[in-house]
Structure formats: C-alpha cells, structure tokens
Structure 1
Amino acid sequence: MTALLEICCYSLACALAAERRGADRIELCAAPLEGGLTPSYGVLKSVRQQVSIPVHPIIRPRGGDFCYSEDEFSTMLEDVRTVRELGFPGLVIGVLDEDGDVDLSRMAQIMAVAGSLAVTFHRAFDMCADPYKAFDNLKQLGVARILTSGQQSSAEKGVSLIAELIARSRVPIIMAGAGVRAGNLETFLSAGINEVHSSAGGWTPSTMRYRNPGLSMSTDPNADEYQRYAVNGQAVAEMKAIITRFSQQN
C-alpha cells in the first residue's frame, strides 16, 4: 500500500504548488504562527475552484487551547456548514472539554452538521489526558482519521504511540504529523504508518522594499512581519519520491 502525503498549505499559491509537486491531499489553513486557523471564505472558494486534489480545510476559530466558548463553537458549526456547502470532501477540527477529554456532545454536533464529509480530528488529540480513551471515543463518533504527533513534540519522538494506536484498529486512520520531513520519512513508513502530514515549507522574505522599522502590527514586538510562509515544491516532490520508492521496495 502506498502511503498518502498530506501537505499543510496556507494559501492558494501554496496549495497549487503542493498539487503540482505530488501532494495527495491538502490541509488548508490560515495563520501559520497560530498553528493553523480557519481560512477566509475567499480563500476557501478560490482553492475549491482551482485545486483538483482533495482539500480538507481546518475549522479552528483561534489559537491556543481547544476548549471553546458557546460563541466560538457556534462559529465553528457555521464554518462546517460553509465547508460542506462549498463541496469540500472533508475538514479538520477538534474540540476538548475542561478535563482534557474529547468533548463528545460537541463533536457529535459537528459530525451531524458535517454529514458525509470525512472528519479529521487534529492535534487536539495530542492535548488529551488519555490518548487511548480519546481514540476509542473518536472511533465511536465515526471520525475518519486522527492527526497526531503521538503526544510528543514531534511525530518522530511519538512514533511508538502512533504505531500502537494503528495496531489497535485501522479505523480511524492514524496520520503522523509534526516535524515530518524527507530526512525522517522512512521512519514512519517502516512503522506501518500509511498517512503522513507535513508543512514541507518555510518562510520567505516579503516583496516590500519600503519598511518602517519603528512600527509593528503584531502584539509580539519581535515578530518579523516582512516574511511569508510558502510550500517548498522541491521538498514535496522529494517526499513523494521517497514514498513511491518505499512502496516499490516493500
């Protein structure tokens, strides 16, 4: 079985570049410094119209933890409806309660609104108090896949838990993400992981020539606002080649 390569993209340009260089699926986000937030309607619509491989937008109204207010959750449900109505095949989301468990009531509402969409429970899974309990709950809810680093700072460090979860059940699919790159990709493939998630990119300088060094639009005074995140097409192609070669040899 050939592993699937999902690339995290933060713009239409990134999504098109990832598609050209061999990505199998895209997770579409905004706000890379926040770890990925819900894309704007304009981005959603343009990507839906121009990208032909499957795209799963993230539904995340803010950065920080995954325990949301009533207003935030209502917004999330509206965003789920928008993604469904635009015709995307899936989405990425996650909701926890105050005790670090999967919020079963809210996730059940999300699943009902999502309908036939494939729902990925994102790395909120890595913030759960008990990954085994969370896995069983998400399986019961009918979630299609879980994106996880194995509750570690990187998926490479958490590969043993990822492999253990896969051994428990093939449903939901377990997708490894966080620090996945060409240099360690075979670690995941050798562990029997059939879906991997990577940003495969980096920061590039802004095209602006004029810069006001005494003013910032960020709450972080040290933030470099004259750079943009972009997918590295060569990195995507290299990862795809490794997956193809591994599949042929095994």
Structure 2
Amino acid sequence: MSRPIFEVIALTAQDAKAAQAGGADRLELVTDMAADGLTPAVADFAAIRAAVDLPLRVMLRIRSGFGSGDLDELRGRATELRAEGAEEFVLGFLDADGNVDLPAVRAVAEAVAGCRWTFHRAIDHSADRCALRAAVAELPGLDTFLTSGAAAGVAAGREVLTGELAKAGEPGYRPRILIGGGLRAEHLPELVAEGFDAFHVGGAVRVAGWDSPVDAAKVAEWRALIGA
C-alpha cells in the first residue's frame, strides 16, 4: 500500500518549514483564513517555494464564499502564480442556487491547463454533490476532491464519505478523496481502516488555532496516526 497523503494548510514560510519537518506530504497555500482561505500573494508563494521542497497546491479564490468573483482577476492571479513556478492549484465555485458554476470552474481550469488541481469543499455546500461530480468529472487536471462529506464536517459526513469511496473509479468518482473539514485525530483509525488514504488539516496542527503557526510536533503526531 502506498503512503497516505497528509496535506497541511500553510500561510507562511514558517508554517511550510514546520509542516515539512513534521512529515507533511503536501501543502495547501492560502491567506486570510477569516475568509476561509484566499489566494496568497505571489511573493508569499515564492517565499514558501524557496523554503521547502514539498508539492504546493495554491488556492484560487479572491473573495469569501463560493462565488467566483471577477474571473479576469482570478485568471490573472493564476497566470502570475504559474509564472512564478506554481504547478498545482485548488479551486471550485458555486452559483447563487448552490449548483456548480461550471463556466467559472472551466474558465479557471483553462487558466491552469496542464496543472493538477483539487476541487475544494464547495462540494460540501452544493445543492447536489452527485450532479457536481458529474459536471466536473472530465475537466482536465482535476485529480482530487477535498471534502468532509457534509457542510457540518467529517462527523456529519461519514456516511457520505463511505458511500463515495465505494464508488471509486466510477465516472465522477475517479478523483481522489482528500478528507478535510472538521477532521479530528480520533476519526483517523476508522477512516484509515476503511481505506481512505488522503487527509487535510489546518488549525489542528497549531497550538492556538489560526493565531499560531504550524507546530512540527503536532504534524508529526498526525503523520504517525495516518501511517507512514
């Protein structure tokens, strides 16, 4: 069995170095967690890229919520990040009715053509997650869904996650399930035993939540629980 993926949210180069030291496999780069994570500045991406050698997935979101906002600005930010060396991204947009905003997702996906990307937890807030999966299934580069199975988090979404894992390989269910959102350490033994192999955390590896940096020792604790 291959090593499970452990992805950690990093806001700074300090976060990134601590996450790598603790055994993280990949980082999600964001800024402004008060807005649930927005696109970081190019300079911040460059500083993190210089600090670690882990794969970096960069958030493409310019406003709080799941609306796309200005698509020209989003595409421009993606182009700037790619020019600085970004190769992996995180994105996902809903319309006012909670359905996937396919034109927006497609437009931003085209701006990062050739790159791998994650459809983030907008899926957990969508009106119909099955329809969303079907709509985006064949978009080039999509290889992951970040999801907790429910808007309220992993504890509420366990049955949905298990059902979707059982469909792995079917159309719309080929991307990897990356579990995140309300994920707690006590969830891990059962999730790993069921066969889930990718996990995502942010505040859980910080001593005092988002007001403190990533703690390498906490990352190592999670890494051990997930398995090496």
TM-score, normalization by structure 1: 0.82
CA distance in 1, matches of 2:110, 2:4: 29
- Choose the corresponding residue for 1:228, options 167, 192, 211: 211
Of the two, which has the highest radius of gyration?
Answer: 1
Give the corresponding residue for 1:217. none
* Structure 2 letter corresponding to 1:76: L
CA distance in 2, matches of 1:12, 1:74: 28
CA distance in 2, matches of 1:105, 1:240: 38
Secondary structure of 1:144 counterpart:
strand
- Choose the corresponding residue for 2:206, options 195, 202, 205: 202
- Choose the corresponding residue for 1:139, options 137, 147, 156: 137
Give the corresponding residue for 1:192. 195
CA distance in 2, matches of 1:55, 1:186: 26
Q: Any conservation in 2 of the 1:95–1:106 contact (CA below 8 Å)?
A: yes
Deviation, 1:50, is: 1.9
TM-score, normalization by structure 2: 0.89
* Structure 1 letter corresponding to 2:87: P
Pick which of 115-124 and 133-142 moved more.
Answer: 133-142
How high is the sequence identity, in percent, across the aligned residues? 29
CA distance in 2, matches of 1:101, 1:24: 32
Name stretches of at least 5 consecutive residues in structure 2 with no aligned partner: none
Deviation, 1:148, is: 0.8
Give the corresponding residue for 2:67. 67
Deviation, 1:195, is: 0.8
Instruction: List structure 1 runs of 4+ shifted beyond 4 angstroms.
Output: none
- Choose the corresponding residue for 1:89, options 84, 87, 101: 87
Deviation, 1:203, is: 5.9
Output the aligned Cα RMSD: 1.9
CA distance in 2, matches of 1:81, 1:7: 24
Give the corresponding residue for 1:38. 39
* Structure 1 letter corresponding to 2:212: Y
